[in-house]
């Protein structure tokens, strides 16, 4: 009887659905492209990603700090955010990300989740435990993690993604610099442990600082001082090794231009440093007016400057999207959306945002093709440097910004297919006014080998688009 019962149990287990363990493809910095996605709207709130957390609240609730001020006055202040942290991103998301062929997740976190609050700061604290859980999920499925300090004390850019819309006081006081390095130290003390070796491979020391917006004297010098302090902190705990070890220190381009950073933190004195640039086409009137074909040409025209920058510091496009507009609710930092004039011919209802950012079933075939070719072109271009991390994995309503929705719906080609050269529109950037000729050369001790591009005469104009993510 026991033997029969055992046979029945084995048969039932074999017949029941078993979870499929998927592993991300292997990757190492300097040897093969980063192909990643941002885990946006989870541990740092952005109203356009999860509008349900902001709908029905007063108009002044528009970022992390105002959300906290409102919620802390409610009878159960943490019930809503706790449910969000528990359910918006789960292990299943990480398994699905790995299965798609992505190799990296960039996880934004705010300083308020890492160090004590002071001077009347108001935030919902407690996300750090969820960050640790997420890194465990990444390890389980073979994904590498780029930790991203998305918000700094005092606010570094005035945007809601910093946690404080309309505020830019980070550059005002060296105490903010000290507290920001303290937040990085918390990340290092946890994620530099042997348990996470090979999983946490890079840290973006500060997301999208914008010195242009600060009224204080020499804000860029302040930022560079911080960059040196952050590098020293990380390198002291994670030395670079001849074999290529050591957490990569990722610096934001900070709206200065890639060329501005030439010669900054040069090898061999500095090792394993990367420059993070963000590429968006929906925040300037000029780019909003471009035709679809002109958008593609501008993406292709970025190749030379990305390659040149990568020969200076490893260069990665840490945020971008296939979406051409800011039609998602709240997307333009709470401002009204601007219609993408160049898209009129491919939309079912021109000048109607609801026809593109909502239900994909209302999209025209031409718009789906637009998203596909934009995605295939951008990923191809950015892999001429160190690669890319798309914004973002999932959204509540803005499907054209969601990688999960795009992979499931078929308008975004999965990275595993991109890696095999399977693109709906073939090899991008063919037939333009330049040809790309790749040659192997050793540029510095910073990487064992890099690729550079020699451009034929009459190359496409270089275009730099310095715009925030949303």
Could you list the active site residues? 208, 319
Residues 6+ apart with CB under 8 A from 34: 27, 103, 104, 316, 386, 387, 388, 389
Q: Quick one: CA dihedral 162, 168, 156, 284, positive or negative?
A: positive
In order of 92, 295, 318, 341, 393, the CA distances from 411 in angstroms are: 22, 18, 21, 22, 14
C-alpha atoms less than 13 angstroms from C-alpha of 299 in its C-beta half-sphere: 30
C-alpha atoms less than 13 angstroms from C-alpha of 116 in its C-beta half-sphere: 2
What number of H helices and E strands is found in the chain?
Answer: 14, 10
- Cα 350 to the center of its chain, rounded Å: 30
d(CA 12, CA 350): 55
- Cβ atoms of 383 and 372 within 8 Å: the answer is no
| Backbone torsions φ then ψ of 396, nearest 5 degrees | -75, -40
d(CA 229, CA 223): 10
| Backbone torsions φ then ψ of 257, nearest 5 degrees | 105, 145
Buried b (16+ CB within 10 A) or exposed e, 184-211: bbebbebbbeeebeebbbbbbbbbbbbb
> Bridge partners of 276?
252, 316
d(CA 356, CA 86): 30
Of 55, 280, 63, the residue nearest 167 (C-alpha): 63
C-alpha atoms less than 13 angstroms from C-alpha of 213 in its C-beta half-sphere: 18
């Amino acid at each position: 009887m026991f033997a029969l019962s055992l046979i029945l149990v084995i048969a039932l287990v074999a017949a029941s659905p078993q979870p499929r363990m998927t592993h991300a493809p292997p990757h190492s910095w300097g040897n093969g492209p980063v192909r990643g996605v941002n885990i946006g709207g989870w541990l740092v709130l952005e109203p356009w990603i999860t509008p349900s957390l902001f709908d029905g609240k007063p108009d002044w609730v528009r970022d992390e700090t105002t959300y906290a001020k409102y919620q802390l006055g409610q009878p159960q202040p943490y019930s809503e955010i706790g449910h969000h942290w528990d359910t918006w991103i789960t292990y299943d998301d990480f398994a699905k990300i790995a299965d798609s062929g992505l190799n990296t997740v960039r996880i934004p976190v705010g300083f308020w989740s890492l160090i004590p609050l002071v001077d009347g700061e108001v935030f919902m604290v407690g996300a750090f435990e969820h960050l640790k859980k997420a890194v465990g999920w990444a390890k389980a499925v073979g994904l590498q993690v780029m930790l991203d300090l998305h918000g700094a004390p005092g606010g570094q850019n005035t945007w809601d993604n910093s946690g404080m819309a309309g505020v830019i006081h980070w550059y005002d006081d060296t105490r903010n610099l000290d507290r920001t390095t303290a937040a990085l130290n918390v990340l290092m003390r946890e994620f530099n442990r042997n348990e996470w070796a090979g999983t946490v491979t890079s840290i973006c020391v500060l997301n999208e600082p914008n010195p242009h917006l600060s009224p204080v004297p020499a804000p860029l010098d302040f930022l560079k001082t911080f960059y040196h302090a952050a590098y020293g902190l990380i390198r002291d705990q994670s030395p670079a090794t001849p074999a290529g070890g050591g957490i990569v220190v990722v610096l934001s381009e900070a709206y200065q231009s890639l060329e501005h950073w030439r010669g900054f933190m040069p090898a061999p004195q500095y090792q394993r440093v990367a420059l993070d640039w963000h590429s968006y086409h929906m925040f300037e009137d000029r780019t909003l007016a471009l035709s679809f074909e002109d958008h593609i040409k501008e993406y292709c025209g970025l190749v030379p400057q990305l390659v040149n920058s990568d020969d200076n510091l490893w260069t990665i496009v840490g945020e971008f999207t296939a979406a051409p507009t800011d039609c998602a609710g709240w997307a333009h930092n709470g401002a009204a959306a601007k219609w993408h004039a160049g898209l009129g011919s491919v939309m079912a209802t021109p000048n109607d945002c609801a026809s593109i950012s909502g239900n994909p079933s209302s999209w025209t075939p031409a718009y789906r093709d637009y998203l596909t070719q934009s995605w295939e072109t951008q990923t191809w271009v950015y892999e001429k440097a160190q690669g890319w991390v798309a914004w973002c994995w999932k959204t509540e309503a803005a499907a054209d910004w969601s990688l999960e929705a795009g992979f499931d719906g078929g308008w975004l080609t999965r990275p595993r297919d991109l890696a095999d050269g399977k693109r709906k529109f073939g090899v991008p950037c063919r037939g333009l006014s330049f040809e790309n000729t790749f040659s192997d050369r050793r540029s510095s001790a910073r990487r064992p080998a890099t690729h550079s591009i020699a451009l034929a005469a009459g190359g496409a104009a270089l275009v730099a688009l310095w715009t925030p993510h949303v």
